Structure 1
Amino acid sequence: LGDYLESEGWEIFYLIGGSKLKLEENGEIYNIKISSPLVGNLFKRIKSIWELKISFVKSLMLIKKLRVDLILAGGSYASFPAICASIVVKTPFYLLEQNVLPGLVTKIFSPYAKAVFTGFEATKNYLKGNIVHTGNPIRKKALLKIDKIEAKRKLGIPDYKKMVLVVGGSMGAYSVVNAIIPLIEELNDFYFIIQTGKKNFGYFSDKMGVKGKNHMLISFIEDMGLYYSAADIVISRAGASAVTEIAYHSLPAILIPYPHSRDRHQYYNAKVLADCGMAIIVEEESDMPDRIKTAIKNFEALRKEHKECKIYKPDCLQIIREVIEKNGTFQKG
């Protein structure tokens, strides 16, 4: 979204709750140190409240210093101080909610936002205010679609093998990859490409080798469109972006929602594809490897039965820009 708005002549500043952000284009990055006050022991919660106060002051100073015209905020707790600061100085703010089930910050501030842009239609049932369903944007490198056989040949995958793409987000998913390992030799008709995440790549490459007869390990996949094009089935967590990309490529999926979030929001994202017949939801439990194996073996039935799930809107970025420009809440840089 930031890259697109910059290409339209906007001046963009990023305020993030951490130190890691990779930008495809230009943009100034400012960091705030913040953690959720809703988790951890008493000491951590007190520390989090103190960080919130400091982050609020820093956000307030940045809004004034940079002469910010509007705030576009995600629904995580990291956006809380910036939203509070924008209210104090009467700077308009908009909310971006990618998940079906909105976060606490989005729920609190949605009645006061100029608009809330949602990735899923069902999100409006949980919110008040001006709700605009835009769909979730897809990163440029995931939009590519090419012929499946051509994509497999580019990746060195035999034409006669079905390709299983295993992704767990940028950090990988240790438990998911562990569940896949015993299946690789057993399911000889399939070739597994597994994104381990940079943190886990060394461990898994030592354990099973970077490349074998039926598998290839990758720490992080940049050209996602190429890998989606080659895939016959995807095994993934159910983050909003992953669900949107899988639907865009119309791929059968085995979705394993992250089990440790407070509100199980990934389950509700996964259910969107499951309700379309595109996905099977597998909970992270003791029988997970067996359930994954059964789903892979039956993927042809899933592929034939699933309906197209149109949750991606090609003009989602334009919709966001047009709503903001219609409100007249900014001047281009």
Structure 2
Amino acid sequence: TISFIGTARALDRALVNAAGYRIHTTSVAPFKRDLRGIVAAASMLPATAQARRILRSEGASVVVGMGGYPSLPVVTAARLARLPALIHEGNAIPGLANEAAARLTTNIAVSFPETVRLFRRRSPRLVGLPMREAITRFSREALRSEALESFGLSSELSTVLVFGGSLGAVRLNEAAIGLAARWSAREDVQMIIVTGSAHDADVRARIEPGKLTVRVLPYVQRMELAYAAADVAVCRAGASTVHELAVVGLPAVLVPLPIARRKEQHANARMLVDAGAATLIEDVSATPEYLDSVIAPILGDPAARARMADAARSVARPDAAEAMAGWIMSLAEARRA
């Protein structure tokens, strides 16, 4: 059986319950590098005790920490209970929770090649990032017709997909609005703009009617269809996004989140940029004019797009979920032996 320990956020509970699993919570506070860090440190002791009780009640054999502050008291509880623990770092630069958790276990999985050297005096294993089967089994050829039909797009035109993650990104939404205005008279390109639920109405109202076909959506339930419809993506560089782009082989213009203290998204982006699968643009430079100048040569050169797609797939790790599952089961079996 599988049980989850997470936060009390409604979204966490909804996602886990919808998948058919049970979720527990502890009282651990978010980690911060300011005075709030004192609160987080003080919350660790009771949260660890709570996590230990949960592990005991669930009869846990293995603990898997996927990063984020809720995982640290659980990994700590596993260490105290002498249970095997495996941690996974999704970003190229480890977060605070996993930096601490790495001192409590030798089982460390990472998603990006450059992360291996950042866990000093440890021996992380590069496995990639676990993803949904709809992504790992992605076939553009099999999905293309369904994808274009679902968005009401033409198979004769090039498609630009702009999205900013699950919550959207104001900078990318503004850039998309500007691009739509610049391209309003074009009949050789079409756009999908995924705004995030909070921004949908505003973006939709500001798209000026013209010859350009623009589909504005608050979110996309089946992201694989958006990838299959697109010829190039303009997006942030979160860990999931970068790994999904690699697996589906979609050329990209990456605009990393600028406010991250450690520039995690810049580090994530390097995997695709160094492979020749993406171009990186700083957030401040993501104007419609500059994006147009970067996107135009990609759209205008099918051979270049094909090379970028091949480069993306060359760094993909679609078997990450299987690798993680096998590792977890081996730890459980070793404990039972």
Deviations 1:156-186 (A, max 9, x none): 1122321111121111112211122111131
Q: How does 1:182-331 map to 2 (within 5 A)?
A: 182-187=178-183, 188=186, 189-208=188-207, 213-286=212-285, 288-300=287-299, 301=301, 302-306=304-308, 307-309=310-312, 310-327=314-331, 328-329=333-334
Matched, 1:63 2:55: yes
Q: Which deviates more, 188-197 or 320-329?
A: 320-329
Higher helix residue share: 2
Cα gap change, 1:58/1:236 in structure 2, threshold over 3 Å: closer, same or farther? same
Where 2:253 maps in the other structure, the secondary structure is strand
- Once the 2 structures are TM-superposed, how far is the Cα of residue 286 of structure 1 from its aligned partner? 5.0
- Once the 2 structures are TM-superposed, how far is the Cα of residue 100 of structure 1 from its aligned partner? 1.7
Structure 1 contact 243–273 (Cα < 8 Å) conserved: yes
Cα gap change, 1:318/1:231 in structure 2, threshold over 3 Å: closer, same or farther? same
1-side partners of 2:168 and 2:43: how far apart?
Answer: 28
Match of 1:31 in 2: 25
1-side partners of 2:224 and 2:92: how far apart?
Answer: 24
1:194 partner amino acid: I
Match of 1:110 in 2: 102
How large is the RMSD of aligned CA atoms in angstroms?
A: 2.5
Correspondent of 1:133 among 117, 121, 126: 126
Q: Which deviates more, 45-54 or 249-258?
A: 45-54
Q: Which deviates more, 211-220 or 92-101?
A: 211-220
1-side partners of 2:56 and 2:160: how far apart?
Answer: 50
Structure 2 contact 31–96 (Cα < 8 Å) conserved: no
1-side partners of 2:272 and 2:118: how far apart?
Answer: 19
Q: Which deviates more, 174-183 or 120-129?
A: 120-129
Correspondent of 1:164 among 131, 144, 160: 160
Structure 1 contact 92–329 (Cα < 8 Å) conserved: no
Cα gap change, 1:318/1:286 in structure 2, threshold over 3 Å: closer, same or farther? closer
Deviations 1:193-214 (A, max 9, x none): 1111122223323433899942
Match of 1:5 in 2: none
Q: How does 1:69-80 map to 2 (within 5 A)?
A: 69-80=61-72
Cα gap change, 1:135/1:286 in structure 2, threshold over 3 Å: closer, same or farther? closer
Matched, 1:119 2:111: yes
Unaligned runs of 5+ in 2: none
Match of 1:48 in 2: 40
Unaligned runs of 5+ in 1: 1-10
Q: How high is the sequence identity, in percent, across the aligned residues?
A: 24
Cα gap change, 1:30/1:83 in structure 2, threshold over 3 Å: closer, same or farther? same
2-side partners of 1:150 and 1:321: how far apart?
Answer: 31
When normalised by structure 2's length, the TM-score is: 0.85
Instruction: Give aligned pairs, total.
Output: 319
- Once the 2 structures are TM-superposed, how far is the Cα of residue 217 of structure 1 from its aligned partner? 1.4
Where 2:70 maps in the other structure, the secondary structure is helix
Q: How does 1:146-157 map to 2 (within 5 A)?
A: 146-147=140-141, 148-149=144-145, 151-157=147-153
Structure 2 contact 189–212 (Cα < 8 Å) conserved: no
2-side partners of 1:63 and 1:249: how far apart?
Answer: 37
Cα gap change, 1:118/1:231 in structure 2, threshold over 3 Å: closer, same or farther? same
- Once the 2 structures are TM-superposed, how far is the Cα of residue 110 of structure 1 from its aligned partner? 2.5
